[in-house]
Chain A
Amino acid sequence: MAELLRTHPLEAWTSAFERLPDTVRITVEPFVATVDVRLGAVGPEVRTHLGVDLPTAPNTWVPADAGRAVWLGPDEWLLSSTTETPEELEARVRAAVLPLGGSATDVSAQRIGLRLTGARVRDVLAKGCSIDLHPRVFGRGSSAQTSLGQAGVVLLALSDAGDDHVVLVRSSFAGYLADWLLDAALEFTTTPDR
């Protein structure tokens, strides 16, 4: 019987990413458990149930226990965890928000993360993203749902220096976005012919 192996949508791009210079470093983040939370009103009881303050300011994210809580809308958040399985995270979050009238759905397979680090990362992103990524307005804790190239992404700022970002992209768009990022980073690579 054939053995079913778990593969990553960007496995074929690994060596191309490794050839990038340190000024534009792209690394594929490991799979994380992710849950989409819908909740009407956020009160202080959410923290006691969930263990994290869901951010209520638009376009922000906060670190959670072993993951992140990203604002997606006035009643929608993305919770991730690196230590729990998708089933464990979904069950825990659902048990926490269900009594408050909310819902939780496992969306771990929906998005994959790309970590972009380096001094030139902002210039690469600016080629296909219209929002202002200067750390003065897009410092650590900022997030944005926007378009990068033709793909819809969630951008997270991890540093106040503007040189560390996470791009969450839908799995089926990951190959396109990887190609797009490699093309956008071309002018910053040391060997123009790759």
Chain B
Amino acid sequence: MTDTGRAPTPSPEIERQLAALGPRAIVVGLPSFNNAATVPAVGAAVRAGLAAHFPEVPAALVNVDAGSTDGTAELLADAGLPVALARHEAPLGERAAVPFHGIPGRDAALRLAFRAARRLDGRVLVLLEADVTSIGADWIERLVRPVLEEKADLVLPAYARQRYEGTMTNLLLAPLARALFGRRLRQPLGGACALSARLLDHVLAHPDLPSTGRDLIDLWVTGRAIADQFALREAWLGPRRVESRTRTTDLPTMAAQVLGALFTVMERYEPLWLGVTGSEPVPAIGEPVARGPAPTTVDVERMVGAFRRGVRDLVEIWEHVLAPETLGDVLSLDARDAGTYRFPDPLWARVAYDFALGHHYAVVHRDHLLRSLVPLYLGRTAAFVLATQAASGAQTEAALERVGAAFERQKPYLVERWS
């Protein structure tokens, strides 16, 4: 394979390690940053999965590390797998305030992993998360087999989650991704995934491969793969349990990063979404798991309180971001009585689109804009919780389907105003 395009060339040291490994059909890419507590479990799951499901296929682990100081790389070197240890550029700012996915400089890490996988002549690159301890041997099988045996090019994850896990994904990211890209992805951002050699070659050679900006590459690859007719699959992987001391749990930071990434992809790569209409489900591998009842305590009162505080404190920002009718409708939501409080899906879709437009036109400082969405997100989440507390799993799925459908129906609102 020849390397073209804009991905950085691996250093001579990593080139030497890759050359020593020789061809490996299965490449497991593992970005990491101070994950010593969890990488032994992840390494063991990889080893067991490969041994159980692909004993005959040559495989290797490529670790791309952001500069761990806790011995993460050393632990992986001893994981009992053929391994290459690489370091990628991680901006100091991202190391000081770790992103929602836990990997400073994730874009650089993935570009490096893509290149390494092609150097090893890999037929599939599986990307895993170094701090997800619920990984089992079967995850490897479900991510790898569709690529090796079913001509899939991109396998994205679907997790078995209780209904109030992934609220930002379920109420915002997934509906947006569905409307933008035309695929009903359950987990458009964050999680384990797998890419085919064909897709890797395509993105590495693509002039648009993001080389600046933050957290763009996952969404861009997905959007690119969909736009260019690559075969998508969704793999049911079971629960996703994160054990991280570094991932942020600050919702405004999370919102700023996640939505900032999505809105920037919209901004830079209009052809990926502007002309897309309708949506299709993605063929799934494994047994779908309906969203379980809520074991965690979710504090609806506090969410409603945050929404009300937002109405009180942020109107002066929102009036720059939201269309006058959208703002009027938001301000007239009556959150005083939990029994009657609703946040209609079409309104929520308009809110999200107004924020995308506000980001596009930079009507206020973009970071402030993104953060000011959080009380609205909490208000929408509170309404979702109130509506589904006593609902069945199927009813909850239906409620989320309605959100996605509303985003899809309202997409012309976004497109007309974008230009």
Partners in one complex: no
